[in-house]
Amino acid sequence: MENSTPAKPHVIIVGAGFGGLEAAKLLGHKPIRVTVIDRTNHHVFQPLLYEVATAALSPADIASPIRGVLSKFPNIDVVLAEVRGIDLTAKKLSAGEQDFSYDYLILATGSRHSYFGKDEWEKLAPGLKSLEDAVEIRRRLLLAFEYADRITDPAARQAAMTFAVIGGGPTGVEMAGAIAEISRYTLAKDFRHIDPSLARVILIEGDERVLSSFPEDLSASAMKQLRDLGVELRLGVHAENLTEQGLEVRGEFIPCRVKIWAAGNTASPVGKMLGAPLDRPGRVIVNEDLTIPGHPEVQAIGDLANFSHQTGKPLPGVSPVAMQQGRHAARNVLTMIEGGKPQRFRYRDKGSMATIGRNKAVADLNFIHFSGFPAWLAWLFIHIIFLVGFRNRVAVLLQWAWAYFTFNKGARLITRNFQAELRPPS
């Protein structure tokens, strides 16, 4: 089916994550037609996914329906469909059963985790990118304790209560800290046959320090804060030979039931549909104005794009980059509609933060580094401000306050059939 010829310029935005949503909001109420296409009906606030994975928050607390977010803009249509092909010459794309013509295209389809060619590891060690991933990890974590509570063999019990997080970037650090907290505090009194506080949490990182994109003093602080929580750090090593039963680290087999992957990213496959130059992780190498070579009407932003014109290295895959690029791409479209040229993009880096647990975090605001309680407060504040939707802000704030004073995490739900996974070995 072909949509009718647009009287007004038609802008298509693919992906309603951090970048796409910012672009759409800036184009709202403008005399143009905008279509936002996403394969899910919700925007996910990915920085809080680990809180869903560790039962602190529910999926709906960190997600907002895309239609709801954009409903106040009459010129924006939302389509639930997956983009499967792009024809740059015809200025068309196919999504679901439909073809769409565009005058301007903004691609913001993000990234997925990468298993560096070992795709069979995905089942053994899920990564954390979507709500489905978070709910699956939560299920595995909670089931591991249930299973350990049922069996009597000490070695099998220890393996069930050993959690390996592979990758010591912000996601791995947050996951490891949160698993240690839930086992030491939240679950500590819930079981009669096991002591959840004895759970082993192992963080495996190929570099010699965690948070290697942060300044060294903050990495050192993060490592101390993790160790204070009882997280074992295995640094300068790689996880190998993953199986259902465990994994190997430098020749040592570590029996562990739950493994979580936080070690690598690859760009969304939408980049490959363009025939434009890609870097090794599959990101589209964009011009300094975010357009793709030879097609000023097409821009790629956020995790999908490799923008190396500022520091000589690609900008990091973080939400401020995606949001600033989203707004810039939208302004470029408006400029081009008025006959102007797309403008050069400059990223304004306001710093970065990572949280480790209750009262534990690190913050790098470029001109100052700090950690512990003040960093944790700053982290809470920033995340509440940027969370999409007033309802979500209130819900998250209330649950954080409740968890802070009671150590309780309310979303400890195991959904889906689990009988087979609970059965003790025969």
| Smaller CB separation from ligand FAD, 111 or 160 | 111
260 binds ligand FAD (CB under 6 A): no
273 binds ligand FAD (CB under 6 A): no
14 binds ligand FAD (CB under 6 A): yes
| Residue 194 C-beta: closest distance to ligand FAD, Å | 28
17 binds ligand FAD (CB under 6 A): yes
C-alpha gyration radius of the chain: 23
67 binds ligand FAD (CB under 6 A): no
| Residue 214 C-beta: closest distance to ligand FAD, Å | 12
Which of left, alpha, beta for 145 (phi over 0: left; psi -120 to 50: alpha)? alpha
Report, as residue numbers or ranges, the catalytic residues: 174
177 binds ligand FAD (CB under 6 A): no
34 binds ligand FAD (CB under 6 A): no
| Residue 420 C-beta: closest distance to ligand FAD, Å | 28
Give the Cα-Cα-Cα angle 359, 363, 369 (nearest 5 degrees): 115
**Identified binder of ligand FAD from the candidate list 3, 6, 40, 103, rule CB under 6 A:** 40
46 binds ligand FAD (CB under 6 A): yes
Q: Which of residues 96-135 bind ligand FAD (CB under 6 A)?
A: 108-110, 128-129
| Smaller CB separation from ligand FAD, 63 or 254 | 63
Question: Tell me, what amino acid is at 31?
Answer: P
| Smaller CB separation from ligand FAD, 12 or 151 | 12
| Smaller CB separation from ligand FAD, 194 or 263 | 263
Neighbours of 381 (CB within 10 A): 10
Q: Which of residues 72-91 bind ligand FAD (CB under 6 A)?
A: 82-83
**Identified binder of ligand FAD from the candidate list 319, 343, 359, 408, rule CB under 6 A:** 319
| Smaller CB separation from ligand FAD, 12 or 254 | 12
**Identified binder of ligand FAD from the candidate list 318, 337, 365, 384, rule CB under 6 A:** 318
- Write the secondary structure of the chain as one string of H (helix), E (strand) and C (coil): CECCCCCCCEEEEECCCHHHHHHHHHHCCCCCEEEEEECCCEEECHHHHHHHHCCCCCHHHHEEEHHHHHCCCCCEEEEECCEEEEECCCCEEEECCEEEECCEEEECCCEEECCCCCCCHHHHCCECCCHHHHHHHHHHHHHHHHHHHHCCCHHHHHHHCEEEEECCCHHHHHHHHHHHHHHHHHCCCCCCCCCHHHCEEEEEECCCCCCCCCCHHHHHHHHHHHHHCCEEEEECCCEECCCCCEEEECCEEEECCEEEECCCEEECHHHHHHCCCECCCCCEECCCCCEECCEEEEEECHHHEECCCCCCCCCCCCHHHHHHHHHHHHHHHHHHHCCCCCCCCCCCCCCEEEEEECCEEEEECCCCEEECHHHHHHHHHHHHHHCCCHHHHHHHHHHHHHHHHHCCCCCCCCCCCCHHHHCCCC
| Smaller CB separation from ligand FAD, 56 or 194 | 56
**Identified binder of ligand FAD from the candidate list 6, 230, 255, 320, rule CB under 6 A:** 320
For the chain, what's the residue count? 426
47 binds ligand FAD (CB under 6 A): yes
**Identified binder of ligand FAD from the candidate list 16, 165, 201, 333, rule CB under 6 A:** 16
Stretch that binds ligand FAD, among 146-154, 233-241, 318-326, 356-364 (CB under 6 A): 318-326
| Residue 245 C-beta: closest distance to ligand FAD, Å | 26
322 binds ligand FAD (CB under 6 A): yes
> From CA 180, how far away is CA 183, in angstroms rounded?
5
**Identified binder of ligand FAD from the candidate list 19, 126, 168, 357, rule CB under 6 A:** 19
Q: Are 223 and 233 in contact (CB under 8 A)?
A: yes
| Smaller CB separation from ligand FAD, 61 or 303 | 303
Stretch that binds ligand FAD, among 9-17, 197-205, 242-250, 337-345 (CB under 6 A): 9-17
- Chain residues binding ligand FAD by CB under 6 A are 14-20, 37-40, 46-47, 49-50, 82-83, 108-110, 128-129, 170-171, 268, 270, 302-304, 317-320, 322
